[in-house]
């Protein structure tokens, strides 16, 4: 989905300016990294696109949806097209790995056999099929992260929002996650990813937008960037 943000400001009570006058255009099918120090506004920007937060002022248009004017009844239809991977995973503790992924497809009324096929395909791809009966607490951090990604992409979303999906992972696992994100992107999904990982940004080239103090300070179309070298 195309994304357009115009003059977006987010102020947290009472006076924390998390984003300030952000203008951003992303075309359908782009892959965009958001970089910048902790507190620069990356997570706030991504959560606004998932409509978990609304802006204090400004416009956000995603595909045919105007997020500020969206009626409550439209939200489930919007959310169906958006996959999210946040740092806290938000896996359901009382469901095993396979059930955590199947849940997403069952919620949209997909027939059981198709659900089973899709779940098997994505868990196999993320090397989790043998772990499918485990509950999140029985899995390592890296496995939980891969499971969160499986869940976010199993529905082939139009937009994938990923906040530090390679955080705390070894290089090999991080690479396998990036391969998956790029292959999903190649099939048409717009991917927005916040990262602190210099290796990933170097090895998997894409547009890089840098935030600082809630503002966009640079936008490199095919980023060769030093994430922290300018400080």
Sequence-ordered list of residues with C-beta below 8 angstroms from that of 32, at least 6 positions apart, any chain: 26, 190, 191, 192, 193, 206, 207, 208, 209
- Segment contacting ligand ADP by CB under 6 A, of 32-40, 167-175, 183-191, 216-224: 32-40
CB of 216 to ligand ADP, least distance (A): 12
Nearer to ligand ADP, 118 or 210 (CB): 210
Q: Is 18 in the site for ligand ADP (CB under 6 A)?
A: yes
Among 42, 51, 131, 146, binds ligand ADP (CB under 6 A): 42
CB of 49 to ligand ADP, least distance (A): 12
Could you give the angle at which helices 141-153 and 97-106 cross, rounded to 10 degrees? 20
Order the strands of the 65-66 sheet from edge to edge: 16-26, 3-12, 57-62, 65-66
DSSP-derived pairing of the beta strands 16-26 and 3-12: antiparallel
Give the residue carrying structure tokens 């357009």: 4
Among 6, 12, 77, 90, binds ligand ADP (CB under 6 A): 12
50/63 Cα distance (integer angstroms):
13
- Segment contacting ligand ADP by CB under 6 A, of 34-42, 54-62, 68-76, 145-153: 34-42
- 6, two tokens: 């115009």
Q: Is 50 in the site for ligand ADP (CB under 6 A)?
A: no
Q: Is 189 in the site for ligand ADP (CB under 6 A)?
A: no
Q: Is 16 in the site for ligand ADP (CB under 6 A)?
A: yes
DSSP-derived pairing of the beta strands 159-163 and 16-26: unpaired
Nearer to ligand ADP, 43 or 197 (CB): 43
Which 8-state DSSP code applies to residue 74?
Answer: G
Nearer to ligand ADP, 44 or 50 (CB): 44
Interface residue list for ligand ADP (CB under 6 A):
12, 16, 18, 36, 38-44
């Amino acid at each position: 989905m195309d994304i357009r943000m115009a003059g977006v400001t987010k102020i947290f009570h009472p006076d924390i300016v998390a984003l300030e006058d952000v203008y951003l255009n992303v075309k359908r099918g782009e892959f965009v990294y958001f970089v910048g120090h902790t507190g620069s506004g990356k997570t706030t920007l991504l959560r606004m696109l998932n409509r978990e937060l609304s802006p204090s002022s400004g416009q956000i248009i995603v595909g045919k949806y105007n997020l500020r004017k969206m009626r409550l009844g439209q939200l489930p239809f919007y959310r169906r097209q958006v996959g999210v991977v946040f740092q806290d995973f938000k896996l359901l503790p009382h469901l095993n790995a396979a059930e955590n992924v199947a849940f997403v497809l069952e919620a949209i009324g997909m027939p059981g056999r198709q659900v089973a096929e899709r779940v098997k395909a994505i868990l196999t791809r993320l090397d989790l099929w043998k772990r499918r009966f485990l509950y999140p607490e029985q899995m390592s951090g890296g496995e939980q992260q891969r499971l969160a990604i499986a869940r976010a992409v199993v529905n082939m979303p139009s937009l994938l929002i990923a906040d530090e999906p390679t955080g705390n992972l070894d290089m090999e696992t991080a690479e396998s996650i990036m391969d998956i994100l790029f292959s999903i992107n190649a099939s048409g999904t717009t991917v927005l990813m916040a990262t602190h990982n210099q290796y990933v940004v170097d090895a998997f080239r894409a547009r890089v937008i840098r935030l600082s103090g809630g503002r966009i300070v640079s936008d490199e179309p095919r980023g060769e960037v030093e994430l922290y070298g300018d400080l």
